[in-house]
Structure 1
Amino acid sequence: MKNNKAIGYVKKAFGNLLHVEFEGNICQGEVCFIQVDDKSFSAEVIEINGFIAKVQVFEDTKGVKLNTPVEFLGHLLEAELGPGLITSIFDGLQNPLEKIAKNSGYFLSRGLYIPPLDRTKKWNYTPKVKINDIVFKGDTLGEVTESHFNHQIMVPFKYIQKFTITYVKESGSYTIEEVIAKAKDEEGREYEFTMLQKWPVKNGLMEGKKTIPTEMLVTGMRILDTQFPILKGSTFCTPGPFGAGKTVLQHHLAKYSDVDIVIVAACGERAGEVVEILRDFPALIDNKTNEPLINRTVIICNTSSMPVAAREASVYMAVTIAEYYRQMGLNVLVLADSTSRWAQAMREMSGRLEEIPGEEAFPAYLASRIASFYERAGTLKLKNNKTGSLTIGGAVSPAGGNFEEPVTQATLAVVGAFWGLSRQRSDARRYPAIDPLISWTKYLVTASKTLNEKLDDFLGKINMTKRFIKEGDDILKRMEVVGEEGISINDMITYLKSELFDNCYLQQNSFDKVDTYCPINRQIELFSLLCEIFAFNFSFTMHDEARSFFLDLQNDIKNLNYIDFETSAYKETYKIIKDKIYTKKANV
């Protein structure tokens, strides 16, 4: 990758796509700077044809003219990896937005780039190797404390040699650029290691053995954890029309998911949604660590008002940082909102490159790009026998809620779980608006092995509830035509049971401090209660009598959901509900 820096001159410009005639050696994906007056604009080589390089500029290209000089840097678009990433807010190119705001105010100026990680902050470093130890890439050299976990300082992943440690810095406080160890390779060349390393964002970072995910990822949302569960190291998507609650759902996952680190990639969405995270997360406390949620969060913020070209970089930047923490044996969750905006950026650039368009003018390679992104998820068995996982979830924003459009279809082909949000449910104020009739997961059988320990025949009970939901929906459609009087009392009871399950179990009140997060043990207890109700053969003579009983029962169970678990008030309300059910059953 090292070369004498090539230079070039702009010959054509099409928006943020420039044709640059260059001298020297360059490669696809290489970073370059466009020199406009006294400023330099970052850009990336996306195509090379002879001595003409096509580069996409990550800034507004105002001021670029014929023969504007271009300097190629000799390396790919890279992420800086090291202590200090947690709690940071970056743009798609990993510029620290808080530092930029201090330097230039709240309106970002073009051509301003600041190192992502603080070069002056000192970290308490503890070495974990000694002189004459043999190490390879990814092996731990030492540790620093970052947030609530030990941040491992590893041998840079770009090296493939076997190293012998020749120098180790003693325990103390050091900056990320100070040498903390030295080593020689087998040919006697000496290398210096610091806490800082870099990695190309479009190349997967994986040192270890990829394994099949087996551990369930608990989200605290009932419809997800029991109906459509996911695993640590899995992939999922949340397509839905505008206003259906995709971002609200992703914020819930960022707050309550049972992981060590959350990377939020705001890719082309409105800035207000990122502001909500910045406002709420410092005040919210993580249940696991009793620290503010921001202490486990990294935000990659490339909103709709920022350069379109950097959207693709923001998605890759997020997953690269996540892969780095996975190498430490941590469980990481990446939330990309929204991958549709990333695809639109690809479509825009594809049009400027004059490529043959695919469906709806998206590039023909759309499906492979989306697949390569989600394939970077997974569970990794490390050399020290620790296991790290990377779970990727992407929001998809199909125009008009059309799930047949190319981005949604390309995503569905590669993810392991589909949580489809529907306009009908969101308009009915049913939160979360995940439609149980169209959603699916490939991880139910694996997750049921965990849940079977808490509830016998869990898989059988899940299939029973899905059958009731489907039958209830079919009966509702008939009722819309013939009315309540046109259906039998048994069909009416089936419909009321499905509505009870929907209102009391599938829906949650995100404004209630208790119901917004439902622990797995509480979910199982409520699910078991509703399964008992499904199994009862209630006897009613009138439709109104059945409706009145189930509405009364629904109110009682909803009130139960708002009471703290296993308190005396909870146990008392639970007993009242059980007595009401069994009293009605005794009258059969």
Structure 2
Amino acid sequence: MDKIYSVNGPVVTVRNTKSFSMQEMVFVGNKKLIGEVIRVSAKETTLQVYETTTGLKPGEPVYGTGAPMAATLGPGILDNMYDGIERPLKRLEEISGAFISEGANVPSLDTERKFEVTLAVKRGDMLRPGQIYATCPETALITHKCMLSPLSKGGEVIWTAVTGKYTVNDVVCRIRDEYGREEELTLCQKWPIRTPRPCAERMPMSRPLITGQRIIDTVVPVAKGGTAAIPGGFGTGKTMNQHQIAKWCDADIIVYVGCGERGNEMTQVLEEFSELIDPKTQRPLTDRTTMIANTSNMPVAAREASIYTGITLAEYYRDMGYHIAIMADSTSRWAEALREISGRLEEMPAEEGFPAYLPSRISEFYERAGYVKTLGGAEGSVTIIGAVSPQGSDFSEPVTQNTKRFVRCFWALDKALAYARHYPAINWNTSYSEYTDDLSAYYKNNVAPDFMEVRQQISNILVEENSLMEIVKLMGTDVLPDDQKLLIEVARVVRVGFLQQNAYHKDDTYVPLDKQYRMMKAILQFFELSKEALGKGVSIDEIMKNGWADKLIKIKYDIPNDKLGMFDEYEREMTDWYKKAEVV
């Protein structure tokens, strides 16, 4: 019997044993706390425990499982809330109350709930890894597709159950491989959380994740299957941006991982999500959402596991042919958990005390995003949107800098914008997207042939305004010529009328791409007509008195999303006004 030699927070050591293998899941102590092997040597084996080790003593037994830390995958994941090691929080509350008790061994999926199962194979069929053998309605919005695990060799179907109601552990199919070995298939399977699920092919990312947020969709877009980071200091709106994206983006399923966030904030998230109605289907948003809640007062090691659990659930639904968006809030807390465990292991620290392997861990996580062809032949994607919480809004700290290396979309939140009530508080000067060229064909074919040119013109106005503001800060606007004063006024229209968005207004909380394009066209038309007016001797003061700048700022409220024909009327009136003024 292997016994505990020492306990140091979540780090436990066992001396003189060869019973355990690297990354094996273990049960520690008399309470059978869940743990994982993280270091093996001739003298001792080191474990990290995912539950609180208060009361754990040397001499208590350690039991091996012979298997790695794995997630249970099957119907019942959606419309559920888990802790960092995939234990259902509602069930834990029923057993132990408001605080999770140590060693609570609760199955991840409801083993008593029955699903209406339809078999997708028949006797004599050949079943290969990734192929679907049964389906069932998991929620009103999502059909769960039970696939043969990539860990299986596959084989010939020798028996299937009849269509009917079954629990996740009921056998619904049997297969026999080429060596004559039989395998029973239930509705669920297990998968090691640290191992990416395989796919048939990684495909180019050519479709945007449409969020309805203008600054994201138009200025700094993210592709389906892409990666994005939202860095920002306290109070800049990281969590609210992720809520807005989760609610409105065109992903089929949302996986929300609250990693080390404050308990009251996570409570608010859970309550809000349970009340939200999916705008597309008028069903509860939880019908296509699963949440992993790992608050800052929970064991620190489970914080690290929560990220891997979340991405494993996302990959599982991707393999069914769904498009998944995973919100990780926040990866900084995950990195802090790595730092704490690294310190207890007495490893050599790198910058700011973080372990030397921090960059590789961050890259491993973000590399699991992608747009793929699944083993079953369908197309699916996992888009990762990770929040980063740099202390004091210092973007030069290690987590932000290393995240920047591995993501292709960077939405930098600005404290000054947030305090000025400009939301989303994404700074257009310090944010960037490397997906723009990849997505240009989609925008041209599905929105407008000149969409990318119009977007570039809007971006140029913002860049030029940023340069001019350096002069204005030093010498004021009076020294500028009229054409530069006009550019600053147009940039204000872009900032306030286009980039700023009201999440509480029915027509502004989500804006379709067609309306985003028409808004940009209207602003550029105003800019061109005003430039022509300046060329004919009209002063900038007269141009600004005509009120069109203020009209364009309010256009986001005045033109409903389903009445885009009103833009034609606006543009005609604008042109007529300039003609009557004998400007054009």
TM-score, length basis structure 2 = 0.94
Q: 1:482 to 1:548 in 2, by over 3 A?
A: farther
Match of 1:15 among 9, 18, 21: 9
Match of 1:283 among 272, 275, 278: 275
Q: 1:535 to 1:455 in 2, by over 3 A?
A: farther
Distance 1:214 1:573 in 2: 29
Kindly state the Cα deviation for residue 66 of structure 1 after the two structures are TM-superposed.
2.1
Q: 1:581 to 1:399 in 2, by over 3 A?
A: farther
Match of 2:487 in 1: 494
Match of 1:557 in 2: 552
Kindly state the Cα deviation for residue 140 of structure 1 after the two structures are TM-superposed.
0.9
Match of 1:401 in 2: 393
Match of 1:444 in 2: 436
Distance 2:154 2:389 in 1: 47
The secondary structure found in structure 1 opposite 2:578 is helix
Residues 229-279 of structure 1: per-residue CA shift (max 9 Å, x gap):
111111111111111111110011110110100000000112333333332
Match of 1:236 in 2: 228
Match of 1:508 in 2: 501
Distance 1:133 1:534 in 2: 65
Query: Does structure 2 retain, via aligned residues, the 8 Å contact 1:560–1:574?
Result: no
Name the % identity: 36
Q: Within 5 Å, which residues of 2 pair with 1:312-331?
A: 312-331=304-323
Match of 1:381 among 365, 369, 373: 373
Q: Within 5 Å, which residues of 2 pair with 1:327-406?
A: 327-406=319-398
Q: Which amino acid in 2 is paired with 1:557?
A: L
Q: Within 5 Å, which residues of 2 pair with 1:528-567?
A: 528-536=521-529, 537=531, 538-539=533-534, 544-545=541-542, 547-549=544-546, 552-563=547-558, 565=560
Kindly state the Cα deviation for residue 193 of structure 1 after the two structures are TM-superposed.
0.7
The reply on whether 1:429 has 2:424 as its aligned counterpart is no
Kindly state the Cα deviation for residue 566 of structure 1 after the two structures are TM-superposed.
5.6
Kindly state the Cα deviation for residue 359 of structure 1 after the two structures are TM-superposed.
1.0
Kindly state the Cα deviation for residue 110 of structure 1 after the two structures are TM-superposed.
2.2
Q: Which amino acid in 2 is paired with 1:114?
A: V
Query: Does structure 1 retain, via aligned residues, the 8 Å contact 2:262–2:296?
Result: yes
Match of 2:261 in 1: 269
The reply on whether 1:521 has 2:509 as its aligned counterpart is no
Match of 2:21 in 1: 27
Kindly state the Cα deviation for residue 477 of structure 1 after the two structures are TM-superposed.
2.5
Match of 2:577 among 579, 583, 587: 583
The secondary structure found in structure 1 opposite 2:118 is strand
Query: Does structure 1 retain, via aligned residues, the 8 Å contact 2:319–2:376?
Result: no
Match of 1:57 in 2: 49
Q: 1:567 to 1:88 in 2, by over 3 A?
A: closer
The secondary structure found in structure 1 opposite 2:4 is strand
Query: Does structure 2 retain, via aligned residues, the 8 Å contact 1:123–1:174?
Result: yes
Match of 1:186 in 2: 178
Q: Which amino acid in 1 is paired with 2:354?
A: F
Residues 163-221 of structure 1: per-residue CA shift (max 9 Å, x gap):
11111111010111010011111111111110010001000012321111222210000
The secondary structure found in structure 2 opposite 1:120 is coil
Residues 139-173 of structure 1: per-residue CA shift (max 9 Å, x gap):
111111112132111112221x2411111111010
The secondary structure found in structure 1 opposite 2:449 is coil
Match of 2:215 in 1: 223
Distance 1:332 1:93 in 2: 20
Match of 1:3 in 2: none
Q: 1:534 to 1:271 in 2, by over 3 A?
A: farther
Match of 1:87 among 63, 66, 79: 79
Kindly state the Cα deviation for residue 545 of structure 1 after the two structures are TM-superposed.
4.5
Query: Does structure 2 retain, via aligned residues, the 8 Å contact 1:557–1:577?
Result: no
Kindly state the Cα deviation for residue 113 of structure 1 after the two structures are TM-superposed.
2.7
Match of 2:91 in 1: 99
Q: Which amino acid in 1 is paired with 2:506?
A: K
Residues 411-461 of structure 1: per-residue CA shift (max 9 Å, x gap):
111111111111121122110111111111111112221211322332222
Kindly state the Cα deviation for residue 131 of structure 1 after the two structures are TM-superposed.
1.1
Match of 1:462 in 2: 455
The secondary structure found in structure 2 opposite 1:298 is strand
The secondary structure found in structure 2 opposite 1:452 is helix
The secondary structure found in structure 2 opposite 1:231 is coil
The secondary structure found in structure 1 opposite 2:377 is coil
Query: Does structure 1 retain, via aligned residues, the 8 Å contact 2:255–2:325?
Result: yes
Q: 1:555 to 1:283 in 2, by over 3 A?
A: farther
Distance 1:275 1:462 in 2: 39
Distance 2:307 2:45 in 1: 24
Kindly state the Cα deviation for residue 104 of structure 1 after the two structures are TM-superposed.
1.6
Distance 1:378 1:53 in 2: 36
Distance 1:506 1:435 in 2: 10
